[in-house]
Structure 1
Amino acid sequence: MQTSHRFLIILIATVLLQGCDQRPVETMLERYSDRVANSLDSDTRLDLDIQLPLPAYPRRRERIRPVTDLRQGLIEVLNLRHCQLLNLIAERNSSLGKVMPPSRQLVYEVRLLSGLGSCRQTLQRSQTADPQLIHQVEKLYQIKKHDFEAALWNGIFTSEAMERNFSRSEPALPLNDDDGFSQSRQALLILNQVATLNSTIDAAQTEWTEPDYLDQLEPHYQALSTLRFGSRWLRSVYLITHTLEHTAGVIEARLRRRPLCFNKNATPKALIVKNVFSKYYAGELQPYMSRIDREGREWLQLNRRLLSNFNHIPPAMQRYQSQVIDADAPLWQNYIAARDRHTKAWQQLLSQCNLMPGS
């Protein structure tokens, strides 16, 4: 009896799961395109069970930039107690410190360079400072300053959080629910602030204090890693592009045949087509597409701005940037072209029947 009861629960759960749409965006897009095809007597059908034809995000070894492997000896480290850096360096040289994630390494590099810069200025103003200590701090400061851009780059672009935002394996963004854009946007804004330190360190050396947001970085990395907005947006914009291209082709094929209406007199058939436009495009696809367009523009802009803070970008990342992130990248330009083609096709079709919205 107990076994039968357990089996019934499992069976009900299975049926419920099968009833849930596991691909709601694809279903909405296919429904729209199929309704258009049906209303225009076309048997062409849209299939969105497709692989995302985008280049893979470069592998970590292609993204990482080399930095000087700096390990201070015990006596040298003890000397740095004058700079209040002993605890910081000891933490980095510990067993856990040697496997710090990129986000924590970034914090360490910023704090170390800031601390060395402050110590350097203090020693230079002192009348009694040990010349050997001055030399040591100056040498360390110049090494870390030289490597600072690479350290910032690695802290941002070798992180798992950034990698997951360009994955090709995530589903599309949801139709109605919170899609994580707000949190992802805030994370990218913070990373842009971090990246601007690259130009700050090259400015005239005044008192450079540690940024107050360093201790708040981890939640932003976590937001990028968990929400994966970028990866889901990439799929959404490609699915929309493919749908618009396909549907525009269906409409254009109908336009090449006989007109839908003569003398701009709407027929019952034309009214069905207009109803499909109003219900499935204006009512379902257009609001989703508008959000994907608006959020995608800002997301791409923030990523472009982030990259612009660096003077050297590894070749593999340069290629990826030109294919996916840049304003003239094929991904975005294909979407714009598909959107414009789709709009023009609908305008031509509905204008034949004087059914354009607002007419």
Structure 2
Amino acid sequence: MQLLLTACTDGGQTAELNDYLQRLSRPLGIDAMQAQVLMTSRPPRAEALRIPLDGGKLDGLDFLRLRGCALQQTVAKRNSSLGRVAPPSQRLLMELAFLRDAPPCIETLLADGREGLARIIRDSVTLKRSQLPALIFNATLGNREYRDFWRARQAPEDYPKQTSSLVITALEQVTADAARWLSGDYRADETRFELALSDIARGDGGELLDALSKQAAYLKAADVLIDQRITAGPLCTDNTQSTAAPILRTVVGKFFVERIQVRGADLNQRYYQLTKPITQLESLLGGALTSDYQIWLEDRRMQLQMGIGAPRQHVDQLQQLLGTCYAEFSSEPVPDTAKRD
């Protein structure tokens, strides 16, 4: 169930949206309703999302038995006291190292006549490959860095003007790495991966959600005003133009088209920059997404789409209200989405 918050004017985008709503209400002669902003969708805690994974026979394997293999150090690190409590990102990197080092070790073991140990390593490779989507999920979408990216934060007044490209690069890098790992290329740059996660944690997913939620709420309140006026009858007829029509045209042009619609286009661009690599990663890991994550994912998508679609829906309402007025009494076109897109 979605929670609603009565919007308060806190400067920046909110003040701009509220100003437009109030200016729209005056010539229509209808009091504007208070905008009801959906509470920003928060992902579940990372600990609640984490998928438990069985280590198999590898958990009890004595690394000393792997003499002559580079895999020996990987197993020693993995089965150490620190390795057993390693965070999900480090656990993923250790398992990738295992998958890289296992094939030549199996060949060495077979050449030495240690078939039983080679079988244990081969079975562990099969297990780790099957667990790889869950390992990647635990280290990325289900981890704290991605939760921090989406955590509820109020957008700055000029958002998204002063946003960084670092988070976009990091999201694209992690998504590309995940696709490569799932295809069987287990190379990994540990430092680069951890730095990318750190950049993601500082990203502006929460600000985007906040800004789009407010855009949806205020434009919905504006749409309610227009609906009420349309129900009362047309502003213009073939021979008569309402005195409100030219005032509304000015309000729409100056405060919606030149400000809100322009900002909406910027939000739209930021939305696609941020969500494209995340959506690709969610698609790659579709079978590993937990039920709690999937519930939150649908809620998040709904909230973002409402915000993205609000300017277009508002334009449709304006066209219904002012279309005849523009056609009959003005050479100016009805506002469209050219400046939004």
Determine the C-alpha separation between the residues in 2 that align with 1:314 and 1:77.
Answer: 33
Code of the residue aligned with 2:108 in structure 1: it is: L
Counterpart of 1:123 in structure 2 is 108
Kindly indicate whether residue 288 of structure 2 is the aligned counterpart of residue 312 of structure 1. Answer: yes
Structure 2's unaligned 5+ residue stretches are 1-8, 335-341
For the 8 Å contact 1:33–1:247, the answer to whether it is kept is yes
| 1:198 Cα deviation after fit | 5.4
- Structure 2 CA distance, aligned partners of 1:175 and 1:225? 21
Alignment partner of 1:29 is 2:8 = no
Aligned partners of 2:213 and 2:304 also within 8 Å? no
SS of the counterpart of 1:353? helix
The aligned counterpart of 1:226 is 202
Q: Give 1:176 shift.
A: 4.8
1:297 deviates by 3.7
Could you say if the C-alpha distance between residues 118 and 264 of structure 1 is closer, same or farther in structure 2, counting changes exceeding 3 Å?
A: farther
Closer, same or farther in 2 for the Cα pair 1:101/1:178, shift >3 Å?
Answer: farther
Contact 1:173 1:233 (C-alpha < 8 Å) held by counterparts: no
Aligned to 1:146: 130
CA distance in 1, matches of 2:193, 2:11: 33
Residue in structure 2 matched with residue 200 of structure 1 by the alignment: 183
| 1:113 matched to 2:113 | no
Query: 2:154 corresponds to which residue?
Result: 171
In structure 2, the residue matched to 1:286 is 261
TM-score computed with the length of structure 1 as normaliser:
0.77
8 Å Cα contact 2:102-2:125 kept in structure 1: yes
Change (3 A) 1:72 1:345: closer
Query: By how many angstroms is 1:298 displaced?
Result: 4.6
- Distance in 2 between the 1:192 and 1:356 partners? 49
- 1:52 paired residue among 17, 24, 39: 39
Which one-letter code corresponds to 1:210 in the other structure? Answer: R
Q: Which residue of 1 aligns with 2:314?
A: 342
Provide the C-alpha distance between the structure 2 equivalents of 1:157 and 1:336, rounded to a whole number of angstroms: 23
Amino acid at match of 2:53: V
Pairwise CA RMSD: 3.1
- How far the C-alpha of 1:138 sits from its partner, in A, is 2.1
**Residue identity in the other structure for 1:344:** D
Conserved 8 A contact 1:39-1:269: yes
Deviation at 1:356, TM superposition (A): 7.5
Shift of 1:316: 1.7
Residue 3 of structure 1 aligns with which residue?
Answer: none
- Mapping of 1:60-71 within 5 angstroms? 60-69=46-55
Query: 1:110, CA displacement in angstroms?
Result: 1.4
Aligned equivalents of 1:93, 1:357: Cα separation in 2? 73
Cα displacement (A) at 1:23: 4.2
- State how far apart, in whole Å, the 2-side matches of 1:107 and 1:242 are: 43
Residue equivalent to 2:215: 240
User: CA–CA distance in 1 between the matches of 2:201 and 2:305?
Assistant: 27
TM-fit CA distance, 1:25: 1.9
TM-superposed CA distance for 1:250, in Å, is: 0.8
2:92 and 2:211 map into 1 onto residues whose CA distance is 32
Q: CA deviation at 1:174?
A: 4.7
For residue 357 of structure 1, report the CA deviation from its aligned partner: 4.2
Deviations for 1:220-245, whole angstroms, at most 9, x for unmatched residues?
21122112x22221222221111121
The residue that corresponds to 2:63 in the other structure is 77
Cα pair 1:57 1:166 within 8 Å, conserved: yes
In the superposition, the TM-score normalised over structure 2's length comes to: 0.80
The one-letter code sitting in structure 2 at the alignment partner of 1:123 is T
Pick which of 154-163 and 312-321 moved more.
312-321
Separation in 1, partners of 2:240, 2:140:
60
**C-alpha distance in 1 between matches for 2:331 and 2:98:** 64
Of 321, 324, 327, the residue aligned with 1:352 is 324
Identity %: 20
1:310-355 deviations in whole A, cap 9, x for unaligned? 2332222222233333xxxx33554466444311221123323224
Number of aligned positions between the proteins: 321
Instruction: For residues 32-89 of structure 1, give each alpha carbon's deviation from its aligned partner in whole angstroms, at most 9, with x where no partner exists.
Output: 11111123222224346x55164x4233354221211466558x21233422133334
Cα deviation per residue 1:95-142 (whole Å; 9 max; x = unaligned)? 54444332222222212221223433x437x64453344234223323
Name 2:226's counterpart in structure 1: 251
Deviation at 1:162, TM superposition (A): 1.0
**Structure 2 Cα separation of the partners of residues 98 and 264 of structure 1:** 81
C-alpha displacement of 1:161? 0.9
Alpha-carbon distance in structure 1 between the residues aligned to 2:250 and 2:164: 32
Q: Which amino acid aligns with 1:26?
A: T
Partner of 1:182 in structure 2?
A: 165
CA distance in 2, matches of 1:149, 1:135: 23
2:150–2:205 Cα contact (<8 Å) kept: yes
Could you list the runs of 5+ residues in structure 1 that have no partner in the other structure?
1-20, 202-207
Residues 193-246 of structure 1: per-residue CA shift (max 9 Å, x gap): 232245423xxxxxx5514x443112221122112x222212222211111211
CA contact (8 A) 1:34 1:46 kept: no
**2:288 counterpart SS class:** coil
